[in-house]
Amino acid sequence: MTLVLLSWIVLALGPSACSPGYSGTAKIAFVRDGQLWTIYPDGSGAYEVADNTPPVVGIGWSPDHHLLVFRTLDSDYAQSTAGRRLKPDPLTGLVTDAPAGLNTVGVDGGSPIPIFFSSAAVRISDAWWDPTGSRLLYRLTLGGSTSQLRWELAQNDQPGGIATRTLPASLAIPSLSNGDEDILGVDQDGLFTFNASGPEQRWLTPGLPTGHPLPATLERVLWQPHQTQPSFLYAVSTAPNGSAKQIALLLQRPTGETRTLLTCSCQQFAWSSSGQQVLALTADGHYLIVNLDGSIRLSIRAEIDSVPFWSPDGRFLLLDGRHTLWLVDVQTGREQLLLSDRTPLGPLSPASSQLPAVGTLLEPMPNSLWGSDSRSFVFLTRGRLWWQGNSLLHEGNGLYLLTLNAQGQPLTAPRLLTNGPITQVGWSYQDSAVSFLFQAPLL
């Protein structure tokens, strides 16, 4: 009788319960062949979370790792010529705004909750979780025109249209705070905060800061992560003609005190995961890690347009490029080339001087490659099969996992978890204030 009862329990719990030593909070999510999957860190328990859906083109972990939000193409649009031409960026996996729906689902599957119902007349971005895990921010463009762009904030557990609020117009992606309901944005009247429960905006600057509106990668105002009384970060022009060729990154404290952290020819900036440093990319291809007193902790020369991923504890920084994968130990300054395709890059050329115009539909990376312990991470090879410059990953392309020791060195060679046409992967939540902004391929 006991054996029969135990057998029934195992069957009722399903395959996700059959991987000893792991819970749902350890799962890695990925998009393969247009569908949402999860897998355990040992490569077991591969599970199609939401099957028989239209193509999945975006996913995002909630901060507590219990929920996933995913974007599915409108079924009619997916069959159209434009829908069939839609492709993810080969580096970021991001897909541009398109007619689609948004859904949330538990890490172990179940019936998805439709947060937004798809419509052929409305293009929608991926959705980005707020740091509390209760709300989702997304962008709508009506009729495909950015002149009719709208920001919406929705509860994660309410079906389409219920508990959804339209936010004030903002030139930048609104920044969601860690504790209270204040939202940061910028419009033609200046920087502002807006309380999701209140009726009015409160302006923080008398008019637009110098040089605004800036190019889209610099038109940002970002709450500091992991702070109950956060500062916020933004850029202003310091060029005589007000251009974006020379900018200053400004830190404004809760007291209203403002200080300059860095003056540079910067093209991107974001917070570190700990909120104690800032990462900036300069026009000459340097990644600068800046302390909050304005001193430069590290200057890193890596592949242009790499995607940065901070470990949750802020000690490590991955720079995931088209041809290389670098690991930086911020504590020691050690840089390691982990992966490459041996493409002769020659001298690293400066970043493009042509920045995307304000209003360009950019997106942050919604997930991190790092596990919650900050000692393991996953990556897609994408043809980069030379490990540490001298040995091939003989199992070929796929999704791999690597674990570091306490000194930041790989414990072993990376382990293949799974393979196939994988376009996106995420192991944990990433605050959008920690990510650079990227443009998906246009239709």
Each residue of 56-83: pLDDT tens digit? 999 999 999 999 999 999 999 999 999 9
Contact between residue 325 and residue 379 where contact means Cβ atoms under 8 Å apart = yes
pLDDT mean over 298-320? 95
Distance CA 224, CA 175 (A): 10
C-alpha distances in Å from residue 412, one per residue of 41, 377, 408, 415? 15, 13, 12, 8
Coil vs helix vs strand at 59: strand
Structure tokens at 326: 């670098």
Coil vs helix vs strand at 17: helix
Coil vs helix vs strand at 38: strand
| C-alpha closest to that of 285 among 345, 336, 242 | 345
Strand (E) or helix (H) holding 76 = helix 75-79
Backbone dihedral angles phi then psi of residue 307, each to the nearest 5 degrees: -95, 120
pLDDT of residue 18: 40
pLDDT mean over 256-273? 96
Kindly indicate the confidence band of residue 330, based on its pLDDT and cuts at 50, 70 and 90: very high
Question: Euclidean distance between the first and final Cα of the chain, in Å?
Answer: 61
Kindly indicate the confidence band of residue 147, based on its pLDDT and cuts at 50, 70 and 90: low
Q: Cα 432 to chain center, whole Å? A: 6
The amino acid that residue 348 corresponds to is L
Res. 323: pLDDT tops 60: yes
Q: Is 180 exposed, middle or buried (0-12, 13-18, 19+ CB in 10 A)?
A: middle
Contact between residue 153 and residue 175 where contact means Cβ atoms under 8 Å apart = no
Look up tokens 């709450």; give the residue: 223
Distance CA 97, CA 213 (A): 22
Percent of the chain with pLDDT over 90: 75
Distance CA 251, CA 139 (A): 26
pLDDT of residue 352: 54
Coil vs helix vs strand at 365: coil
**Residues in contact with 342: Cβ distance below 8 Å, sequence separation at least 6, in sequence order:** 386
Kindly indicate the confidence band of residue 198, based on its pLDDT and cuts at 50, 70 and 90: confident
Res. 21: pLDDT tops 60: no
Distance CA 37, CA 360 (A): 30
Each residue of 206-246: pLDDT tens digit? 889 999 999 999 999 999 999 888 999 999 999 988 889 99
Average pLDDT in the chain: 89
pLDDT of residue 86: 94
Coil vs helix vs strand at 259: strand
Structure tokens at 180: 């209270």
**Residues in contact with 261: Cβ distance below 8 Å, sequence separation at least 6, in sequence order:** 233, 248, 249, 250, 251, 278, 290, 292, 294
Look up tokens 């009619």; give the residue: 76
Residue by residue, DSSP assigns 395-442 as T-SSEEEEEB-TTS-BSSS-EEEE-SSEEEEESEE--GGGS-EEEPPP
pLDDT of residue 181: 66
